[in-house]
Each structure stands twice: as C-alpha cells, then as structure tokens.
Amino acid sequence: MKILHTGDIHLDSPFAGLSPETAKKRRTELRATFSDIITYARTESVDLLLIAGDLFDKNYVTRDTVALLRKEFSSLNCPVVIAPGNHDPADEKSIWMKKDIFPENVFIFRSTNLSSFFFEKLNCRIYGYAFEESSLRTCPLEGKAVENPAEINILCAHGDTASPISTYGPLPAGILENFGADYYALAHIHNPDNATAALTVPGAYCGCPEGRDFGETGVKGAVLVTLDKEHLELERIRFCRRIYEERTLNADGAAEQGEILSAVRALIQNEKFGDDVLLRITLQGSIAPEFSIDTSALTEAREGLFHLEVRNATTPTWNADVLKQDYGMRGELYRVLLPKLESADSMERETGSRALRYAMAALAGESLPLE
Ligand SMILES: [Mn+2]
C-alpha cells in the first residue's frame, strides 16, 4: 500500500519577516502547496493520507481555509487521518470538534488518549492521539503495544523524539520500540533529516512542506511511504514552491559599497539561485570603521531571487593610535575601555573588545548580532 505522510503545514502562517505583500503571497502559495499535496495523493492513487499535526498555524482558521479543506478532502477517494498537534490542538473551540465540517473520509483523533482507526480493505490500523492544548507532557504510547501484530500498524502522531522531558509530546525511543508499529508517521520537527536518521524504529518526520522562515532552510516536502508487512520504502517528495537559504560572505577589507554589491551578486550567480529562493546573506570579517555598509541598498542585487536580505555582522578594524588621539565620542569610548583592553586578564580583554565592537557599531547606527 501507498501512504502519503505529511504534517506541519501551518496554513495561515503569518510569514513574519517578509513585507506584508510578500507574506500575503506566501500564504496563498502555502495553500496552493497544500492543494498540490492533495492532487499528488489523488493522481498517485495513494491508499491513505496521514496528516500528523499542525495543519493550521493557529487554532483559529479562516473561512477560506475551511472551504479549501472541505473541497480538497472531498476530492480524495482515500481516507485522511489527522492527528492534531501543538499548533492546532483539539480543544473544545477547535474546528476538530465541530460536526459536519469534514467529509466522511476524514478521520480525526480528538483525545490525548491513544486510539485507532481500522481500515479493513487495507488490513491497516492507524493509531494516534491529539494534542488537546498547546503542550503535552506525557507520552500517550507509554506502556502500550499494538493490538494485533498481524495487521499493518501505523502510528500517526505529533510529538518530540528529541527529549524525554519535552513539553511537546515526548516520544522516547524505548516507548516507540515497545509499541511495535510498522511505520511511525511523525510531525513536529520541521527540518526532518537529523531527527529521522536518529529514529530507532521504522518511520520519519515529514518536515514542513514549505519553509516559513530562515530557521527552515532547504527543500521541503512530504514522505511517500510504500509498505506491506515485509517491506518499507520511503521517498521524500518535493512540494515547496520556495526555498529558504542562508549564506555568509567574507567582506574582509572591503572599503566601498560597490565591492560588496559585486560580491553579493557573484554569490547569487555562483549558487545559481533562482526565483524560488529566499536568501539571507550575513556579511562577516573586518572592515574599516569609517566605512558604513548600506545593507538595504544591497538588496538591489536581488533581481532573479524571490527575496534577499543582507545582515551586517562585520567588525570594524580600529587603529589604536588614531583612536587615542580622537577627541570625539569614539576616542573617549576607547580611553574608557583601555584598562580592560590592556588588562593582563584575557577575559577582561575579551569583554573590553566586545564592548568596543558593540559601542562602535551603535555609533555607526548598526546593530551586531549578540554573541
Ligand atoms: Mn509544526
């Protein structure tokens, strides 16, 4: 049988950090990506669609989104199983508790207690549970095992394998192993590769189908699972329309805006980034203190990209002799910090130079990322 395993879709996400127009565009694209997932499930004739939580970003859902879900789920010939997560918990007010919203092929877990749906034609039982609020401190699988090992047993759940004391539905390895499912369809960790590789049971984190900020870089999608009692095959399918990428650029010794602009352009060209990319470039290295980089002007190198932002994390190089004789604010700062800068204690020297970097950046109207 074939299963499409998705989750962490976060419909109606705010896409903070983008301009209001771009954010609106991204919200529309995210819906289109969700529709692509449904279309894929239909055209590939999957037997089951699993949504392992966080279908919505917040537990209030726009009318358009509800209409979209009804339309898309109705278009499928297969069951859809949903296990609400920490962002869209099954509390009393949630859409999950309303009657007559979803078509008959949609099966929803509504309690933190483990339960299951059995699909006879597939000889397959889907176990799962719901978050009932934005946190879940216990593991609903604890002390449990599948009822009938002869069936194909699958867990569809939102949870955290990273820590046994997680407040997002801890899923300790031992408990998963003892449960004995043939596949664990998990969601919650948006960058799924490491968490999936660390699993000691057959399963995967699906990851989010669209990155939503620079914490969610790289290609995103869902997992196509082909399985029977003896075989399990996983394939990651790309669904994302856009990709977040981060790069650093060494601006050491740069003396003018044009140099940095060229370097930014070259980086974009070398990486062959296209209009599906949202790129953040962080400038590093030391530059002359009198040169103040205009990061917003650098975004003119954006052409061809969907979005470009440049962060300035360079540090100014100071000429101590000049600073000593500077009777302005910079020189005064230097003289105040001098005992620290020349201290025999290396910690003191470090504190002094860090204070000087921040202060110099502040005087230049820039902010340095906190160290
Ligand atoms: Mn999520």
At 368 the pLDDT is 67
CB count within 10 Å of CB 200 equals 10
User: For residue 189, how far is its CA from the centre of ligand 1 (angstroms)?
Assistant: 7
Where residue 246 falls (left for φ over 0; alpha for ψ -120 to 50; beta otherwise) is: beta
Residue 319 gets which letter from DSSP?
-
User: What percent of the chain shows pLDDT beyond 90?
Assistant: 75
Task: Compute the average pLDDT of residues 95-99.
Answer: 92
Instruction: Write the pLDDT tens digit of every residue in 268-280.
Output: 999 999 999 999 9
CA 58 / ligand 1 centre spacing (Å): 10
Residue 300 has what DSSP assignment?
G
Rama region for 45: left / alpha / beta (φ>0; ψ in -120 to 50; rest): left
* Structural tokens at position 254: 């740069």
Per-residue confidence band for 322, with pLDDT thresholds at 50, 70 and 90? confident
Confidence of residue 369 (pLDDT cuts 50, 70, 90): low
Asked whether residue 371 carries a pLDDT value surpassing 60, the answer given is no
Contacts 24+ apart (CB under 8 A), 64-67: 64/31, 65/11, 65/12, 65/31, 66/95, 66/101
Owner of token pair 């604010």: 329
Give the pLDDT of residue 269. Answer: 94
The half-sphere exposure of 324 on its side-chain side, counting CA atoms within 13 A, is: 6
Distance CA 161, CA 201 (A): 11
Residue 146 has what pLDDT?
Answer: 98
Task: Please tell me the distance between residue 113's alpha carbon and the centre of ligand 1 in angstroms.
Answer: 20
Taking the centre of ligand 1 as the mean of its atom positions, its distance from the CA of residue 190, in whole angstroms, is 6
C-alpha 168 to ligand 1 mean position (Å): 10
Distance 88 CA to ligand 1 centre (A): 9
User: What's the predicted TM-score (pTM) here?
Assistant: 0.85
**Torsion sign across C-alpha atoms 54, 87, 197, 165:** negative
Which of 208, 227, 141 minimizes the C-alpha distance to 180?
141
Q: How many Å apart are CA 296 and CA 184, to the nearest integer? A: 45
CA of 31 to the centre of ligand 1 (A): 16
Residue 112's closest CA among 145, 144, 81, 138? Answer: 138
Contacts of residue 313, Cβ cutoff 8 Å, sequence gap at least 6: 282, 283, 284, 368, 369
Residues 51-85: tens digit of each pLDDT: 999 999 997 788 899 999 999 999 999 999 999 99
Name the more confident of 53 and 330: 53
CA of 8 to the centre of ligand 1 (A): 4
User: Taking 70 as the threshold, does the pLDDT of residue 332 lie above it?
Assistant: yes
Adjacent-strand bridge partners of 343: none
- Helix (H) or strand (E) segment spanning residue 363: helix 346-363
Q: What is the pLDDT of residues 219-268, one digit of tens each?
A: 999 999 999 989 999 999 999 999 999 999 999 889 899 999 999 999 99
Identify residues whose C-beta is under 5 A from ligand 1, the ion.
8, 54
Please give the residue that has the higher pLDDT: either 302 or 32: 32
* Domains, the chain: 2-238 (3.60.21.10), 243-363 (no CATH)
The rounded distance, in Å, linking the Cα atoms of 366 and 350 is 21
Q: Would you call 31 helix, strand, or coil by DSSP?
A: helix
